Structure 1
Amino acid sequence: MVRNDLLLAIVVMAIWGFNFSMIKLGITDVHPLLATAARFTLAVIPAIFFIRRPNVAWRYLFAYGFVFGVGIWGMASWSITAGLSSGMSSVLLSSNALISMAAGVWIQKERISKRKIIGAVAALVALLVLVSATHGNITPQGLMLIMIAATCWTIMGMIVKASKTTQAFAFNVWGMLFAPLPLVLFAMSIYGSDIIFHAIAAWDMKTTIAVGFQAYPTTLFGYWVWNRLLIRYPLSMTAPLTLFVPIFALISGYFMFGEILSLAQVVACIMFLVGIGLIVKPATHKDPQQIQPSLS
């Protein structure tokens, strides 16, 4: 990878990691489901008017928008208000690699290499340590929500694969068109219509900055750069870069909100990321089985 592309990739990983702190900033007073709906509304409009709709069936775009909007980022944002620290949310969302590997084995009957098995065992042990050695940064509800988000990331990958799209960025933008309304309806079904008026009353400049950051640098710019890198370089170069995201998320969580990990959790985080790295590392000629990596 040429130097300029590598630097640009690291910038995007930093943006994606910092995004978890911005999520926490934006959902302090506004419910995370509504803040996430606002994020995708800004990301779609006006971009959708300048991007041609991808040549795929509408059902794939709807399914992608619903899973990506409600299942992944709605639940990931909610997990933070449910007691999960922003940095830990990013780390645990990376467990989607474990879920994807399990789905490949059980559903698609894939064979996995010894390296991936070692990585999975290491990640699972680290996950147990992270949960058991909680330092006030993990709650049962938050853990449940982030695991739903991680599972939905695997489902999202299946939707993209089933659509057979070759227009990744256009598919992402048009799919996000179907994210805001389900998020709003979901929030109203739980809390009633009063939640809308509460969000309007509580909305301030802090929320606007946080949502704008999630919509533009994180979603539009970040995915544009990432898709460009996926086209230009093999997965063996791009996949490991996503492991920078939790690192940047932990750093930004510390400086913005004073989020601190216990020593056991620091060691477990390192072990977890190493395990995930062994899973997402693309296959070589001696390791024919490969599982598609996913982003945090």
Structure 2
Amino acid sequence: MPLGHCLLALFVTVIWGLSFVVIKIGVGATPPLLLAALRFAFAALPAVFFIPRPKTGWRYILGYGFFLGIVQFGLLFAAIALGMPASLASLIMQAQVFFTILFAALLMGERPSPYQIVGGIVAFLGLGLIAWPRLAGSEAVPFLMTVAASAAWGVANIVSKRAGRVDMLGFVVWASLIPPIPLLGLSLWLDGPAQVAAALSHLDLKALASVAYLAYPTTVFAFAVWAYLLSRYPAATVTPFALLVPVAGIAGASVILDEAMAPIEAVGGAVIILGLAINVFGPHLVQRPGPA
């Protein structure tokens, strides 16, 4: 992958890492599924009137909108509302790296290199170091919801690859049309019409700022760039960059939310970075110059 695309992938990981902090702030004032519905409604409108529909089948647009918007973010927002810390959520969601590589191998015949396998194992150990102490009692339910959300992200990555080389900005914008109504319906069912109406009538600056950040930098820009990279490079090359998302998530949660970062989390973060380095740079570090 060229350096420019590597830097673009890193920028996306920072945006996504900070988005977990924004979600935590947003669900404190707005029902989680309603917040998710507003996120995708703002991402789709009014952009869908100005951006042409991508030249790909409707099944890919519907599939991406379903797995990314309804399943992934419905579960994630609900898990964070149930008490999942933003820092831990940003870590657990990176299991999508392994889900994506697994699904790409099973469904698309992509085979990860030995360096990517070793890097994935190292990064998984880093995730395990951070997640293991928290897997107990009532924290298990939001944790499992977050793992399921990361699996849905892996499926969405495969759908975007199946869609081919299309206009990924248009792909993300048009796919954002799918989640709002189902998510709103789920919120009306689970939270009740009275709570949804009250939340909509009392949207404050904090809630609106959360929706704006989640709709535009996080959804329209970041997912369009991510889908663009996945359409041009193997999943095992692109997805390991997402292992830096928890680094930004932990840092942001520590500074903005005062979530304490334990020493084991710092060690786990360092192990994750090592795994990313092995995934991305391992083959280049051992290359030997050929004969003149």
1:234 and 1:117 map into 2 onto residues whose CA distance is 14
Structure 1 position 69, deviation (Å): 0.7
Which residue number in structure 2 is paired with residue 90 of structure 1?
Answer: 90
Q: Name which of structure 1's ranges 114-123 and 79-88 shifts more when overlaid on structure 2.
A: 114-123
Name the amino acid aligned to 1:37: A
Kindly tell me: are residues 221 and 161 of structure 1, through their superposed partners in 2, closer, same or farther at Cα, counting changes over 3 Å? closer
Distance, in Å, in 2 between the alignment partners of 1:17 and 1:171 is: 22
Q: Which structure 2 residues correspond to residues 94-133 of structure 1 after superposition, within 5 A?
A: 94-107=94-107, 111-133=111-133
Extract unaligned runs of 5+ from structure 1. Answer: 288-296
- Contact 2:17-2:90 within 8 A present in 1 as well: yes
**Equivalent in the alignment of 1:167:** 167
* Corresponding residue SS for 2:134: coil
* Larger CA deviation: 199-208 vs 167-176: 199-208
1:64 partner letter: Y
Task: Report the CA distance shift for 1:9/1:66 in structure 2 as closer, same or farther (over 3 A).
Answer: closer
Match of 2:290 in 1: none
The verdict on how the C-alpha distance between 1:60 and 1:234 changes in structure 2, with shifts beyond 3 A counting, is closer
**Match of 1:147?**
147
Residue 203 (str. 1) matches residue 178 (str. 2): no
The residue aligned with 2:37 is 37
| Paired amino acid for 1:174 | W
> Contact conserved, 1:239 with 1:282, CA < 8 A, in 2?
no
Shift of 1:259: 0.9
Moved more, 248-257 or 193-202: 193-202
Q: Kindly, what percent of the aligned residue pairs are identical?
A: 28
Q: Deviations over 1:52-97 (max 9, x none)?
A: 1112222221221111111222222222222221122112211111
Matched with 2:70 is 70
Flag structure 2 segments of 5+ consecutive residues without an equivalent: 288-292
Pairwise CA RMSD of aligned residues? 3.5
In structure 2, C-alpha distance between the alignment counterparts of 1:204 and 1:134, rounded to whole Å: 33
Q: 1:254 maps to what in 2?
A: 254
1:34 is matched by which residue type in structure 2? L
Cα distance in 1 for residues equivalent to 2:134 and 2:244: 22
1:102 and 1:281, CA in 2 relative to 1: closer, same or farther beyond 3 A? Answer: farther
Deviations 1:79-130 (A, max 9, x none): 2222221122112211111122333445556544332332333233333332
Match of 2:267? Answer: 267
Amino acid at match of 1:28: G
* CA separation of 1:171 and 1:90: change in aligned 2, threshold 3 A: same
Is the 1:72–1:153 contact (alpha carbons within 8 Å) kept by the matching residues of 2? Answer: yes
TM-score of the two chains, using structure 1 as the length reference:
0.80
Q: Map Cα deviations across residues 172-224 of structure 1 (whole Å, 9 max, x no partner).
A: 11011111111112223333333422422552211011111111232234345
Q: Is the 8 A contact 2:130 2:264 kept in 1?
A: yes
Conserved? CA contact 1:122–1:275, under 8 Å: yes
CA shift at 1:254, angstroms? 0.8
Per the alignment, in what secondary structure is the counterpart of residue 55 of structure 2? coil
AA in 2 matched with 1:268: G
Q: TM-score, normalised by structure 2?
A: 0.81
The whole-number CA distance in structure 1 between the counterparts of 2:225 and 2:189 is 36
Per-residue CA deviation, residues 25-75 of structure 1 (Å, 9 max, x unaligned), is: 111021111101101111111111110111222222122111111122222
> In 1, distance between residues paired with 2:154 and 2:60?
15
Between Structure 1 and Structure 2, how many residues are aligned? 284
Residue 55 of structure 1 contacts residue 165 of structure 1 at CA under 8 Å; is this kept in 2?
A: no
Question: Where does residue 181 of structure 1 map in the other structure?
Answer: 181
Contact 1:66 1:182 in 2 (8 A): no
CA contact (8 A) 1:87 1:250 kept: yes
